[in-house]
Amino acid sequence: MIARVSLEIALRKEFDYSIPASLAGQIDVGSRVQVPFGPRKVLGVVTAVAEESAHARLKPILKVIGAQTLVTPKVLKLARWIADYYCCAPETALKSVLPEAVRKEDAGWRERLFVRALPAGGELPKLPKRQRDVWNIVEERREILLAELVELAETTAATVRKLEDRGLIEITSEISERDPYARETILPSQPLVLNPAQAVALEKIKVAMNRGEDGRHLTPTLSPLLADSQRGEGEKPSSIFHPQSSTFLLHGVTGSGKTEIYLQALAHALEQGKGAIVLVPEISLTPQTVERFKARFSSGKLQTLVAVLHSHLSAGERHDEWHKIRQGRARIVIGARSAIFAPVEPLGLIIVDEEHETSYKQEEAPRYHARDVAIMRGQMENAVVVLGSATPSLESFYNCKRGKFTLLELPERVDNQKMPHVRVVDMRQAAHKEKGAPLFSPQLKEAINQRLDRGEQTILFLNRRGYSTSLQCPKCGYVCNCPNCSLALTFHRQEQKLACHICGHVEKVPLVCPNEKCKNPAIRFSGTGTQRVEETLAKLFPKARIKRMDADTMKRKDDYRKVLGDFRAGKIDILVGTQMIAKGLHFPNVTLVGIIYADLALHQPDFRAGERTFQLLTQVAGRAGRGDVEGEVFVQAFAPFHPAIQYARRHDFNGFYEQEIEFREQLKYPPVSRVALLTLKGRNEEKVKFSAEHLRKVLESKVQSPKSKVAAGETTLDIGHWPLDLIIAGPAPAPLLRAETFYRYQIMLRTRAMSALSRELARIIQSLALPEDVTLAVDIDPVNLG
Ligand code: ADP
Ligand code: ZN
């Protein structure tokens, strides 16, 4: 027998190896193996097993890692789809489906050795220094992994064995699982009686889950998210598309009881003998969130029913959680992005909470979107997918409108709490009175004062995201937009010019505000950060206890938890922060939320700027009034009448969607089309620019001559299927042209037939000759145009 192996070193190729007699029966599709490659030993995954190979003189597989196949055939198939659709090397995709801690392990987990201190009988004998050092560690830790001990004490296993010989310690190989939540006692929770809207939603989900049981199998296509009419030439036929959607979008305002629906749908999956995956954004994967799931399914006797996967676990914890799932002892997995690859089998349900979150997109290869992978996996494994959000992505809502997903709505908060009152403050007036834009309008200052007097808490929010700055007139709110793309132009301070990074349009910085009625010479970019807000606050309210929360102040793992703990305990009056504080937090004593500068998110050079602003304002506003006192929200803006701000003020998602989709349709932006962003990067700007222009020419030549070569006989060789609706924009300098000494140029492609385009792009990349120091990154369905 032979095995085909995809190696971890990126080669975009698979290699055949023979299976030696000693390993017969231990190797299957999905096994992790170590094989010789040249003079090296490398790791890989078996992707196929066959009787024979076309190659002679195969080298044998050296060893198998882990007792069970680590990548299930289903997950392997998913990895293949990711490589195809997201245009990356198969081994890159394969790497991402296994956590590092599971991949790297070279001894199976059963073979791990633990060192334990034995009860001391009398005096500690006099020990040589090295042994004493080892002993000190064991004594303190009581129990420790041998490997960890050897590393910590900078010693060898032989030295540790000497302590064993003296009867001071024992070394055993029993399994001792590390449970990251072992120290917490969680009180069990019971299902709540659902309100009518919740009951309707749950019923529909359950019906779909039951339908899956009749063995109605769905064959996935490469592009699960495209409706039939969107399919371009070359996309596979879509008769395989399910008549009734098994993907739901649960649109419910914050506090409408979405989580309770998840919990009861999960219970249904367990009743059906199936497992489930719950994805939440990394930032909301707090102990409180995990606890809600554990409380329902993992308390008392059900110790291991829920496994947790996220990046803050130690490698060992991650390893153990993963194996709990693989062995079927944990049936529900809750985790961030990569938990979508958890080896749950059979899989009945996938939940993606806060589905609009951009953190579901991985920003390095493979650049997959976990929500879209979830939908794909759901189709492959006949599992129901529930996407939940208070502010759904335009993509998902669009899919509902076209009948691809089923929309479920929870229009009201469970406890009949009112939505907070949102006031939009026109900062142009404040700027007028004070000659220049103040950070705080008189209205907001007054409101903060009131809260301080009443002992209530305030959250102030400033979305100061990075570098890209638009040019906005502080007097009239005018923003310099690209005439071609309707997006904010990016201000390049050094060259004093404005550039559109979608189409490359460049213009000079105006000397006065271009608005005829304004002509303010003080038009300039405003760069306000959270730090300045904090400083100004301290001057305005010297007695207030103020804390700032952003990427600069939250460096360590525990910082976030600590500040939130202090805030909850009432030790902080005003919390200032970036989007970090916008998500899912629930503080009953917060009655005021201030958004310092709502336009900041609005004028990012990104066609999703309006959508992001709407989401952000809605989410931030949702932080106010979670207790008995009705909440109040102040939104300070220079463009107070912008639809994103106005619809957010009225909590009107549908209204926002309708006007935003019109803009997307006009300019062929997603979800009406799909985007592939090609970024060229290098140290020499000329070379990067030249390469980008060269790439554009290659792309153009392909579009103009859609080739369809058919070789003689029956076999079709190379049929290129260029999407006919392809729009090429750029090359243009990236908004962050020069990042970490690299220059970056981008080309944006738009098409409805992304699967076809991905396949063609893969071919182009293979044959594209770039200068050695210029690299190309392909981002399919990017969420971040930076
Ligand atoms: P969401 O996930 O939509 O923000 P949650 O599921 O967290 O909403 O619900 C908000 C609060 O309402 C929670 O404290 C939850 O326990 C409670 N809740 C949810 N559904 C019900 C119900 N049917 N009856 C009573 N309380 C409920
Ligand atoms: Zn443009």
Instruction: Concatenate the DSSP letters of all residues of 708-759 into one string.
Output: EE--SSS---EE----TT-EEEEEEEEEEEEETTEEEEEEEEEES-HHHHHH
pLDDT score at 201: 96
Percent of the chain's residues with pLDDT above 70: 80
Q: Which residues surround ligand 2, an ion (CB under 5 A)?
A: 482, 484-485, 500, 502-503, 505
Pocket of ligand 1 (CB under 6 A): 192-195, 198, 252, 254-260, 414
Which residue puts its alpha carbon closest to atom 19 of ligand 1? 257
For 160, 334, 391, the CA distances from 192, given in Å and listed in that order, are 54, 21, 25
Dist. CA 157–CA 149, nearest whole Å: 9
Helices vs. strands in the chain: H and E counts, helices first: 22, 30
Q: What is the mean pLDDT of the chain?
A: 80
Confidence of residue 475 (pLDDT cuts 50, 70, 90): confident
Residue-by-residue DSSP string for 88-132:
--HHHHHHHTS-HHHHS--S-GGG--EEEEPPP-SSPPP--HHHH
Dist. CA 634–CA 528, nearest whole Å: 18
pLDDT (tens digit, 9 = 90+) per residue, 643-657?
999 998 888 999 999
pLDDT score at 741: 63
**pLDDT surpassing 60 at residue 468:** no
Confidence of residue 352 (pLDDT cuts 50, 70, 90): very high
**Structure token digits, residue 570:** 């009432």
Q: How far is the CA of 259 from the centre of ligand 1 (A)?
A: 7
**Structure token digits, residue 562:** 């600590």
**Structure token digits, residue 390:** 């208070």
Q: Regarding predicted confidence, which is higher, 580 or 776?
A: 776
E strand or H helix that includes residue 678? strand 674-682
pLDDT score at 153: 85
| φ, ψ at 547 (rounded to 5°) | -135, 140
388 alpha carbon, closest ligand: 1
Atom of ligand 1 nearest to the CA of 256: 3
**pLDDT surpassing 90 at residue 437:** no
**pLDDT surpassing 90 at residue 705:** no
> How does strand 457-461 pair with strand 574-577?
parallel
415 alpha carbon, closest ligand: 1
Specify the range with the lowest mean pLDDT, choosing from 171-185, 353-367, 604-618, 738-752.
171-185
Specify the range with the lowest mean pLDDT, choosing from 679-688, 726-735, 749-758, 771-780.
726-735
**pLDDT surpassing 70 at residue 673:** yes
pLDDT score at 170: 81
Which residue puts its alpha carbon closest to atom 23 of ligand 1? 194
pLDDT score at 553: 63
pLDDT score at 667: 85
CA 36, distance to chain mean position in Å, is: 35
Exposed, middle or buried, 171 (CB in 10 Å: 0-12/13-18/19+)? Answer: middle
Confidence of residue 714 (pLDDT cuts 50, 70, 90): very low
pLDDT score at 227: 39
**pLDDT surpassing 60 at residue 237:** no
Q: What is the pTM of this model?
A: 0.77
Q: How far is the CA of 260 from the centre of ligand 2 (A)?
A: 45
E strand or H helix that includes residue 530? helix 530-540
Confidence of residue 267 (pLDDT cuts 50, 70, 90): very high
pLDDT score at 660: 94
Provide the residue type at 592 as one letter.
L
pLDDT score at 769: 85
Kindly report whether the peptide bond that precedes residue 643 is cis, defined as omega within 30 degrees of 0: no
What integer is the mean pLDDT of 393-413? Answer: 93
**pLDDT surpassing 50 at residue 707:** no
Q: Regarding predicted confidence, which is higher, 144 or 574?
A: 574
413 alpha carbon, closest ligand: 1
pLDDT score at 228: 37
Q: Regarding predicted confidence, which is higher, 111 or 628?
A: 628
Atom of ligand 1 nearest to the CA of 414: 12
Q: Regarding predicted confidence, which is higher, 244 or 480?
A: 480
